[in-house]
A and B are shown apart, each in its own frame.
Chain A
Amino acid sequence: MHTPTDMTDFHTFAVVFAIPGASSLETHLDELAAAGCDDAAFMGPATDGTFLAEFDREAPDFTTAVVSAIDALTGAVDGLRVQRVCPDDLVTISAIADRTGRTDESIRLLVRGARGPGDFPPAAGRINDKTYIWRWVDVARWFETALDERPAGAEHARLIAAINHALQLSAMTDELREHPEELAAVAHFMPPHLEPA
Chain B
Amino acid sequence: MRNKHPKKDVEEALQEAEAAGMIVKDGHGHWGVIWCPGDEDDRCPRPLWIWSTPKNSQNHAKQIRRYTARCTHRPT
Query: Interface-forming stretch among A34-42, A61-69, A116-124, A150-158?
Result: A34-42
The reply to whether the CB of B62 lies closer than 8 angstroms to some CB of chain A is yes
Main secondary structure of the interface of A (DSSP, over half): mixed
Assembly CA distance A56 to B41 (angstroms): 29
Main secondary structure of the interface of B (DSSP, over half): loop
Q: Which residues of A contact B66 (CB under 8 A)?
A: 54
Contact with B along A49-92 (1 / 0, CB 8 A): 00010101010000000000000000000000000000000000
Are A39 and B48 in contact, with the CB atoms below 8 A? no
Q: Which residues of A contact B75 (CB under 8 A)?
A: none
Size class of B's contact patch?
Answer: 20 to 34
Q: Which residues of B contact A25 (CB under 8 A)?
A: 29, 49
Assembly CA distance A45 to B49 (angstroms): 11
Q: Which residues of B contact A58 (CB under 8 A)?
A: 56
Assembly CA distance A42 to B60 (angstroms): 10
The reply to whether the CB of A114 lies closer than 8 angstroms to some CB of chain B is no
A41 → B minimal CB distance (Å): 4
The reply to whether the CB of B4 lies closer than 8 angstroms to some CB of chain A is no
A53 → B minimal CB distance (Å): 10
Q: Which of A119-152 contact B (CB under 8 A)?
A: none
The reply to whether the CB of B55 lies closer than 8 angstroms to some CB of chain A is yes
| B47 contact from A40, A43, A56, Cβ within 8 A | A43
14 extra A-B contacts, CB within 8 A, seeds A36-B55, A39-B55, A41-B60: A10-B59, A25-B29, A26-B28, A29-B29, A33-B30, A38-B55, A39-B59, A43-B45, A43-B48, A43-B49, A44-B47, A46-B46, A54-B63, A54-B67
Binding site for B on A (CB under 8 A): 10, 25-26, 29-30, 33, 36, 38-47, 52, 54, 56, 58
